[in-house]
Each structure stands twice: as C-alpha cells, then as structure tokens.
Structure 1
Amino acid sequence: MTRGTIRALGIAGAFAAASLTVSSGAQAGAFGLREQSAQGLGLAFAGAASGGAGVSSMFWNPATVTMRPGFASEQSLSFINLSAKITPTVGTAPGLLPFGSSGEIGQGAVVPAGATSYQLTDRLWIGLQTGAPYGLVTKPRQDWAGSPYARSSRIFSLSFNPVIGFKVNEWLSVAAGPNIEYFRLTLRQAVPVPGLFPALYPSGSLKGESWSVGFTAGATITPAAGTVLGIGYRSSVHHDIEGAIGFPDPRQALAFGAVRAKLNTPEKVSVGLSQEINPVTRINLGFEWDNWSRLGDIGIVSTALGVPVSQLPLRYKDSFFYSVGAEYDWSPNLTLRAGLAYEDGPIDVSNRSARLPDNDRFIVSVGGSYRWSEKLLLTASYAHLFLERSRLLAGPGRDYNVGNIPLAAYTDASADVVSVGFRYQWDAPAAVAPAPLVRKY
C-alpha cells in the first residue's frame, strides 16, 4: 500500500469520525434521511445515482466513485427545520380531549455527511461514504391529548460505507462495498393508570441499540459523451436491537429485564440519468424505491423470560421518489441548479402514528456552487418540503392501540432544509487523469 493510499484512508477515517456528532430529523419518507449531499439537495436529488450529487453520489450508487480522477473529498452539513403539530378532534377520548394539541413537535436537527474517493490506477478506485441514513426527533408537550401514544421519539443512526470501484471499460463502471450501520432508538409515552388523573400518568420508555452490516452495489453506464445512466442498491440491514423497557413500576422492569427486537431497514434502489444539453446546461432525472413494507410488526421480547412484552405496529408500505433537476454554468466559476421532486411515502391514514405524522410530500429546491480555486468548490442549497394535511386515527380497531384509548386528530407539517458543503481536490486532476486503455504507437 502506497503512502498516498494510507493518507487517503486516514483522512477518510477522520471525516467518518466527524459524523459521530450527527443529530437527526426525518426528511425522506418515514424516518429515512436523504440529506447526504449539499449539491444533491439543490437538484432535489435528481440524478444522484448518476453522479448529480458529486462525490457523495456514492450513497445512492457506489459506482460513481470512478467518475472523479485523483483524490477528492466532499463534506456537507444540513440543517433540517421540521415543523409539525397534531390537533385532536371529536373522537378522541373525552377525558383526554381537554388537554389539547401536541404543540410544536418538530425539532431542528443538524446532519453531517461526507464522501472521499481515491484513484489507485487507471481502472481502480477506493472510497468511503459516511452519514446518517435514518433519523427522527419529535417531542410533543408532556401532557396533551395523545400522550398515551407519544411523549418523545428519537432515532439515531450512523453508517460507514467503504467501496471499491472498477472501470471495466470506457462506458461501464461497477462498484460494491460493505455498509456498517449503527442504529439506536428511544421512545417515551404516557402509561395510563386507572383512577389516576391523565396529567399525572407516568412515562414508560423503550431504549435499544444495534450494530450490523449490509452492503451496497451499483453500476454506471456512459453510452455516449454527455450521457450517464446509473443504478445503485443499498441492502437491508438486519438489526438485532438490545435494550430495556422502562416501566413506572420498577418491579415490572426487574421482572422483564433486558429486551430485544428485530428490525430490518428497507432496501433502496436508485436510478439516475444525467444528460448534457449543451456545454453549460445539464438535465438530471431520478427515481428511488424503498422497501419500507418489510417493516411490519416489530416484536419486543423479554430476554430473561423469552416472552413478548410489546410490539411496534409500523406496517409501512413501499415508497417511491421521483425527481427532476437542472444545472446551468453561469460562468466558469459559478454553477446554478434547481430541482422538483415528489415522494409517494410509506405512511398513510392506516399506519400514521403520533410519533411520526408523516405523509406524501413535494420538494422544491435551489442551489449553487462556486469554484473558489482549482482545488476548492463551495456549495449551498435550500429546499422546502410541502406535506399534505393528514388524518390520524388510533385506538380500538386501529394499528396503534394503547389501552383502547381513542385518538382522532389532524396533522400539519412542513420542513425547510439548508445545506452547505465543500469539495476539495487533494491533488492535481490533470496530472492523474486515467491513461488510455489502449496505447497506439
């Protein structure tokens, strides 16, 4: 291994360590996070699988690691300002209805992500992508009409995805690598106690964490100059979460001891197309499928007794994401971009919960990049998420039912995302451009 390779891996590891500070808020469907690239956000993630999200396109398609010669690093920082409120209506338990709405349950979150690519030979690349593929932070008022269903929810994740890319020929590249993932959740809700005034209900909690491994794979095809088609796959990661349930009665907690639960994250298939219209204009298209339907009822089992303690009835459906974006080089140093996307999300009235009052959404985004020098590129983007007003129903006969306490409500939500980032080329690209595959003398 060369000294340059060791240096590349060392810097990539430092960027990975920086991601340990992540705090998450959901922007993609359910508790998925799509904020892995400031450049990609400006295009509403259109063409992310075909290189439209820069070096960070590795999140969607690891084969994009072969699209940049030399040694390059990219880092982004996204602030997600989620706003959401749950307003109870007639149909909620009469004893709880006077406690009113959830108040603002959205929590601002900062999500860092990064990617590094390093060219070893004219055909071989290595790379590392880091970030938070899943995240959620919602916190209603302590005492509100839906407190038996949610007092706070937090999901935190980290992923480390080293990849190896191979340029088969001038029009085909492939890549694959392991996806090492950490997942942690903390859920709190009120525990109804007969005869006790609802405002005095104690809280119960569920906490757990897991490390596990999946993989990513992908390919890029360049059928003609100025055209790139990419397809990427992120496998499900099978988490065996270990933790504990906090009961108001400590004797219950002692009796059940530790608990475990199995959670399988959804597979993701991403397809992207990037097309050069003229030397200064490019159009990008994107499609993503997430297999959220594999998240059914998550059983929570007592490790000591081997018996079910509770369950999380997620019962999500698959989600589909469609996007279109365009880039225009205003000058040799300034590129402007914009995008529009729609997501048919995994949550509807049949499985919507007070923890995650999600719905289908439209995304409108704008952004730009400025080349500060030959080696440094600065990027900033903004996106607004429009979520449809939605109905929430829980209680008898519904997926979410705590003590047969009915909850009927409307949810209103929206989000603003601001992302900034930079790309740094550690060497001179012209000096390390791939040699021709066939030399003629």
Structure 2
Amino acid sequence: MTKLPARSILAISITLALSSTVQAAGFALIENSASGMGNAFAGAAAVAEDASTTWFNPAGMAELGDGSHLSTAGHVIVPQAKFTDKGSWVNPALTGGNIDQAQAALTGKNDDGGKPAFVPNSYAVKRLNEKMTVGVGINAPFGLETNYDDDWIGRYNALDSAMQTININPSVAYEINEQLTFGGGVSLQYITVELGSAIDSAAACRSIAGAANSGDLLLSCLRAMPTLSNQATDSKVVISGDDVSFSYNLGAMYKPTPQTKIGVSYRAATNHELEGKADYTVNAALQPILTATGVTRFNDVDVKAEANLPDSLSLSVAHKVNDKLELLGDVTQTGWSSFERLRVTDKNTGAIVTNVDEKWEDVTRFSVGANYQYNDRVKLRGGLAIDKTPVPNAHLLTPRTPDTDRTWLAVGANYKLNKTSSLDVGYAHLFMDQTPIDNTSEDNGYAIRGVYDSSVDIISAQFNMSF
C-alpha cells in the first residue's frame, strides 16, 4: 500500500448528481434534450426542432426560423448496478500467497452503487439576420456517480465517486444558401472530481512494520488490529480536484431535398489539468504506528492529474416520408482511446501517486427512430439505439465505472401548448448485459471479482418557447 488508492481520478461522476451506470458509452452523458430522448437521440444532428440543436449541431439553429427560441429540460435518471461477489480477495502477499486465505480475509457485503439523480440543461437561440443565427447552451456532457456503503466488499477499490462537468457553449450558424449551413462554437467547461476509498488499516500497519523490519511493531499491529479487512478499523481517503478548460465544436447541415436533412457534427476533445488534494482520515489504532515510524504517506497532500475527455463525430439523417411520418438515423463515434492511462502525481514533488493502464477503446453508437404527427397538437416519438462500452475487458473494468454494453428503447411525445410554446416528454429503458469484473487494484493489490447486474430508467421533460 505504497500508493494513494486513486484508481480512477478521471473516471467518476456527474454534473449536479447522476448515476453509477452512465447513460452513454464510458462516462459521457447524452441526456441533453427531452425531445431527443423520445427518439433515443436518433437523428440528433439533423432534426433541429428546438433550441437544443445548439448542442447537437449548431448549424441546425438556422432551421428554427426568425425570432428567439428557448428550451429547458430536466432528466430523472434511476440506475441499478447490483454487484454480486464471486471471489474477491485481499492482497495475497498479506496471506503468504495463500489464495483461499486471501479470499476468506476479505469481508463485506454485496451492494448497489446506483443512486437516482437529476440532470438539467438549457438552450437559447436568436436569429440576427437572414444569414446568421446565434445561440448558447448550458449542460453536462460528461459525468457519473457511484456510491457504495462503507462495509461493501469492494471498499478498498472504491467507495464514493463523484464528478461534475458544467459546459457553457456559445455558437453561431451561417447559411451559405437554402441547402447548406455551417455552424461552430466554443465551450467553457468546468470539471470537479471527488473520489473516496477505504484503506485496510491492518494491512497498512503490517506493511509499515515489515518495511521497518521491526518485530515489535508487527506485534503491536497484530494486537491492535489482528484481522485483515476489518471495516471497523478502516481508514479512508478522499481525493478531490477541479479545473476549467476550453474546447470547440463544428457542424454542418445539408438539405438535398425539402424532405431530407443531413447533419454532421464534430466536438473536439477537452483536456483538463486537475489540481486538488488527497485528504486522509486515519484510524486511531494505526496512527501511533505512523507516528513511531515517521511514515507520511497518509498525510494530506496536494495532487494533480490529467483528464483527457474524448472527441466525438456524429452523422445524422432526418427524412420526411409524408406529412405524418419522419424517419431518423444516427451514427456517432466517440474517441475513448484518449483514456489510455491514469497518471496522478504529487503536485509539489512530482512523485507518481498512481499510474494505471486503462486502454479504453473508441466506440460507435447506432440509433434509429421515427416521429409521427398524430394531430395538429401531438407528435409521437420512438427510437432504438445500440451503445457499446469502451472498456475492453473485465480486468480493466472498475467499480467506479461499471460500464457495459446497453440497448436503448425509447418513446416520447411533443404537445403544442399554443402557437409559441410546447412540451416534450421522453422515457427510455436501457437494457444492459450482465457484466463480469475481475480487477486487481494496482494501488494496493486488492481484487474485486464478481458480476454487475445493471439497468437504467430515464424520464425527461422539456419546455420550449419561441418569441
């Protein structure tokens, strides 16, 4: 236990509170409009029905017409990520390499890290003249949150994980002609991170006594903390940090016919340099050993880490079959290979705190959907999406981000309140594969082995106004 247990200072939680099982690949958040939710975000870069197009494709702002347009949405996310243990263990080095003893020594219960959460976003668009339209969006493009009980079996790998991102994105659209429009914008993004983990005080004490080659200290450890993995004597660490960074996005909208719109949208990577602290709460039985040996690795320290959030590229199509039916499709690639390694260092000395291979992979999301104009006031929506996880295998999966493949099934509706305002509602259920995890922490050698059984329900609502 010579390193801070900071397994995932990058892979963490959401903006204003989210869930343990993220709603798009990795820890990206796609829940940025309720109108899109009803279609599982099929055609998101081409539909351009309301001001939320500011986020999905800034070129789509020109499709909204004259005047000003506002959209405000909220999403209630109810995740489930139930873990069942199948042979987790303490570091086998602490039991003389005896695997059976290592498994028996790790005590704790199964747990569900998922917690309900609320995610808001807002957008405003205004046409300046016949060629130019401007807009701004405020939302949360990345995040996740996992909260486990203090006595769960994987507490030495992760307890609480929380990350919030708030993104402010002004943008502009310029119409070349009736068929072609280009758009672009700049993002100001704030990220804040907080990670908690338990520390096995008994194991730490034995490690310190062994490093000091002191039989007396070892006896003191065994008397004060005779049992490994005893939640009653655990210590804890919370690592926190934040940063502000900039990025950009580009988009284009092409209409080959009056019935068909093709949208392309690119959002560049955002590279954060987080700075913060590692705050320790040391158990009273361990503190005398630390004082006697002069060990300082459980002292509070300043830390820093990079968070390279991925770029994405979307191609969407929206085609009106007739006055009633519109068909939608979307392909989005996210560059999760940017999350190759997690490196955390002491801000003052530059010493490596943790340096872990992640080796995530780029992924592609596919979605199809349809809108049906039921009558003058009501439009019905539906959609299906296939969303693959960027985590390559069970060995790289962590309890902070128990990510897995998911299939979206979504429905929704738009209701016109009057000539200038409307209400969107959407619901999606995310079906997820049962996910094995077999992860050994490079920070402390503890292995979390088992299965996650996950699913997510999302309810969204959005108010739209034009004036």
User: After TM superposition, is the score higher than 0.5?
Assistant: yes
Contact 2:279 2:299 in 1 (8 A): no
1:172 pairs with one of 169, 172, 180? 180
Larger radius of gyration: 2
1:358 pairs with one of 356, 380, 403? 403
Query: CA 1:109/1:256 → structure 2, altered by over 3 Å: closer, same or farther?
Result: closer
Contact 2:342 2:358 in 1 (8 A): yes
What displacement does 1:406 show? 2.4
For 2:79, the equivalent position in structure 1 comes to 82
2:163 pairs with one of 147, 152, 155? 155
Equivalent position amino acid for 1:221 in 2: Y
What displacement does 1:255 show? 6.2
What displacement does 1:60 show? 2.1
1:322 pairs with one of 345, 349, 366? 366
What displacement does 1:385 show? 0.4
What displacement does 1:350 show? 3.6
2:103 pairs with one of 87, 94, 98? 94
1:252-303, Cα deviation, whole Å (9 max, x unpaired): 3786731111111000111110000001110000111110110121211111
Moved more, 402-411 or 321-330: 402-411
Contact 1:192 1:403 in 2 (8 A): no
User: How far apart are the structure 2 equivalents of 1:312 and 1:418?
Assistant: 36
Contact 2:39 2:381 in 1 (8 A): yes
For 1:275, the equivalent position in structure 2 comes to 319
Equivalent position amino acid for 1:83 in 2: Q
2:18 pairs with one of 4, 20, 24? 24
For 2:275, the equivalent position in structure 1 comes to 242
What displacement does 1:166 show? 0.1
For 2:245, the equivalent position in structure 1 comes to 212
What displacement does 1:314 show? 3.3
Equivalent position amino acid for 1:94 in 2: Q
Contact 2:369 2:381 in 1 (8 A): yes
2:353 pairs with one of 309, 324, 334? 309
For 2:339, the equivalent position in structure 1 comes to 295
User: How far apart are the structure 1 equivalents of 2:161 and 2:104?
Assistant: 24
Contact 2:193 2:241 in 1 (8 A): yes
For 1:415, the equivalent position in structure 2 comes to 456
Unmatched segments (≥5 aa) in structure 2: 1-13, 90-101, 204-221, 288-294
User: How far apart are the structure 1 equivalents of 2:426 and 2:25?
Assistant: 20
Contact 2:372 2:381 in 1 (8 A): yes
For 1:384, the equivalent position in structure 2 comes to 429
For 1:349, the equivalent position in structure 2 comes to 394
* TM norm structure 2: 0.83
* TM norm structure 1: 0.87
User: How far apart are the structure 1 equivalents of 2:364 and 2:154?
Assistant: 30
Corresponding position: 1:139 with 2:183: no
Contact 2:363 2:388 in 1 (8 A): yes
Corresponding position: 1:226 with 2:259: yes
Query: CA 1:175/1:424 → structure 2, altered by over 3 Å: closer, same or farther?
Result: same
For 2:43, the equivalent position in structure 1 comes to 47
Corresponding position: 1:373 with 2:418: yes
Corresponding position: 1:192 with 2:192: no
Query: CA 1:161/1:312 → structure 2, altered by over 3 Å: closer, same or farther?
Result: farther
Contact 1:247 1:253 in 2 (8 A): no
Equivalent position amino acid for 2:108 in 1: F
Query: CA 1:49/1:121 → structure 2, altered by over 3 Å: closer, same or farther?
Result: same
For 2:310, the equivalent position in structure 1 comes to 266
Percent of aligned pairs sharing the same letter? 26
1:162-193, Cα deviation, whole Å (9 max, x unpaired): 00110011111001111110111111111123
User: How far apart are the structure 2 equivalents of 1:32 and 1:222?
Assistant: 29
Contact 1:42 1:337 in 2 (8 A): yes
User: How far apart are the structure 1 equivalents of 2:307 and 2:24?
Assistant: 19
What displacement does 1:373 show? 0.2
1:202-257, Cα deviation, whole Å (9 max, x unpaired): 11121100000000111000011110000001111110100011234597378673
User: How far apart are the structure 2 equivalents of 1:98 and 1:256?
Assistant: 27
2:438 pairs with one of 393, 402, 406? 393
The DSSP-based 3-state class of the residue aligned with 1:357 is coil
Contact 2:417 2:423 in 1 (8 A): yes
Contact 2:415 2:424 in 1 (8 A): yes
What displacement does 1:98 show? 4.0
The DSSP-based 3-state class of the residue aligned with 2:32 is coil
1:294-330, Cα deviation, whole Å (9 max, x unpaired): 0121211111112111245433211211000000000
Contact 2:39 2:383 in 1 (8 A): yes
1:81-117, Cα deviation, whole Å (9 max, x unpaired): 011111111353424554221x221011100011111
Contact 1:320 1:345 in 2 (8 A): no
Equivalent position amino acid for 2:442 in 1: N
User: How far apart are the structure 2 equivalents of 1:150 and 1:53?
Assistant: 42
Equivalent position amino acid for 2:460 in 1: S
Equivalent position amino acid for 1:142 in 2: D
Contact 1:40 1:54 in 2 (8 A): no
- The size of the alignment, in residue pairs, is 402
Query: CA 1:85/1:97 → structure 2, altered by over 3 Å: closer, same or farther?
Result: farther
User: How far apart are the structure 2 equivalents of 1:238 and 1:110?
Assistant: 26
Contact 2:341 2:358 in 1 (8 A): yes
Contact 1:90 1:408 in 2 (8 A): yes
For 2:135, the equivalent position in structure 1 comes to 127
User: How far apart are the structure 2 equivalents of 1:121 and 1:274?
Assistant: 26
| Pairwise CA RMSD | 1.8
User: How far apart are the structure 2 equivalents of 1:166 and 1:285?
Assistant: 24
The DSSP-based 3-state class of the residue aligned with 1:84 is strand
- Choose between structure 1 and 2 for higher RCO, CA contacts under 8 A separated by at least 6 residues: 2
What displacement does 1:58 show? 2.3
